[in-house]
Amino acid sequence: MPHGGGRLTVESLRGMVDGGSVDTVLVAIVDMQGRLQGKRCAAHYFLDTVVEHATEGCNYLLAVDVEMTTVGGYEISSWERGYGDFVMRPDLTTLRLVPWLPATAFVLCDVEWPDESPVTVSPRQILRRQLDRLAERDLVALVGTELEFMVFDDSYERANDLGYRGLRPANQYNVDYSLLGTSRVEPLLRRIRNEMGGAGMAVESAKGECNLGQHEIVFRYADALTTCDNHVLYKTGAKEIAAQEGKSLTFMAKYDQREG
């Protein structure tokens, strides 16, 4: 069975795979834009091969812009240097269920070169290096995030067709702390809260904010690596849940000129 509210061990995952309740494992890294990139592995293949031997991904994943266009000037890969693979080694402490996707588990990977040396420019490795420096000074970083987003009644496909202009916010007025105003978006917010909890995150609360369609969900603080790992899965998951509900949302820091 899962432990820690959706967290898995290899043994508990194997039991779920053998029982037919999990058939897919998302194997992911974090790119330079803070997004999850990776592949969907058949669960038996993940257990029989990837757990011990890792998997691979193209090293251009850490040398592209937000549109996935290759960009010059990177030492790790370029058209001049060539493009190859790096190793995606699962950090099994991050293994968990993904409640908003059927029969799916998730694991984050550390990025290595084929000689097992770390890819030092990968975001997770940069954070690890800073945490190691803190540990050398007998310090520990604890981090909490208060992640605000804008919800729109338009689907992602409709938003794209509109050029991301003239979208309809899920709320038409300031709903900061308004229980009535947030009730109108509660079906979506409830799913996000509960399904993040089912993925092993400690959800504290949700509330409205002052911009149109703006909401926040707050998670309990934890060590910096755990919080950042949760952060990246939450942002992806919230967007996936919104898409399932026929809506869209963005974590853009300043979507428009309004306050919030």
Any idea where the domains of the chain sit in the sequence? 10-126, 142-250
Angle 186-197/224-244 helices, nearest 10 degrees? 140
Per the CB < 8 A criterion, the answer to whether 215 and 182 are in contact is yes
CA separation, residue 196 to residues 114, 125, 153, 169 (Å): 34, 24, 22, 23
User: Measuring CA to CA, which residue among 158, 164, 167 is closest to residue 214?
Assistant: 167
pLDDT tens, 219-250?
999 999 999 999 999 999 999 999 999 999 99
CA–CA separation, 235 vs 251, rounded Å? 8
The answer on pLDDT for 156 being more than 60 is: yes
Amino acid at 231: H
CATH 3.10.20.70 for domain 10-126, yes or no, is: yes
Angle 123-136/224-244 helices, nearest 10 degrees? 150
pLDDT tens, 188-207?
999 999 999 999 999 999 99
User: How high is the pLDDT of residue 209?
Assistant: 95
**Average confidence (pLDDT) over 98-105:** 98
pTM above threshold 0.85: yes
Instruction: Report the residue count for the chain.
Output: 260
> Residue 154: helix, strand or coil by DSSP?
coil
CA–CA separation, 199 vs 100, rounded Å? 9
Per the CB < 8 A criterion, the answer to whether 36 and 29 are in contact is yes
User: How high is the pLDDT of residue 1?
Assistant: 39
Where does the pLDDT of residue 257 fall: very low under 50, low under 70, confident under 90, or very high at 90 and above?
confident
Architecture of the domain delimited by 142-250? 2-Layer Sandwich (3.30)
**Average confidence (pLDDT) over 83-103:** 97
Per the CB < 8 A criterion, the answer to whether 107 and 95 are in contact is yes
Q: 10-126 and 142-250: same fold? A: no
CA–CA separation, 117 vs 40, rounded Å? 25
Cβ neighbors of 21 (< 8 A, separation 6 or more) are 103
Where does the pLDDT of residue 4 fall: very low under 50, low under 70, confident under 90, or very high at 90 and above?
low
Where does the pLDDT of residue 168 fall: very low under 50, low under 70, confident under 90, or very high at 90 and above?
very high
**Average confidence (pLDDT) over 209-227:** 96
> Residue 185: helix, strand or coil by DSSP?
coil
User: Measuring CA to CA, which residue among 178, 162, 147 is closest to residue 252?
Assistant: 147
Point out which residues pair with 110 in neighbouring strands: 89
pLDDT tens, 39-80?
999 999 999 999 999 999 999 999 999 999 988 888 888 787
pLDDT tens, 107-149?
999 999 999 999 999 999 999 999 999 999 999 999 998 889 9
Least confident of 80-94, 98-112, 124-138: 80-94
Per the CB < 8 A criterion, the answer to whether 235 and 34 are in contact is yes
Point out which residues pair with 112 in neighbouring strands: 87, 118
User: How high is the pLDDT of residue 260?
Assistant: 67
Per the CB < 8 A criterion, the answer to whether 246 and 158 are in contact is no
Point out which residues pair with 111 in neighbouring strands: 88
**Average confidence (pLDDT) over 147-152:** 96
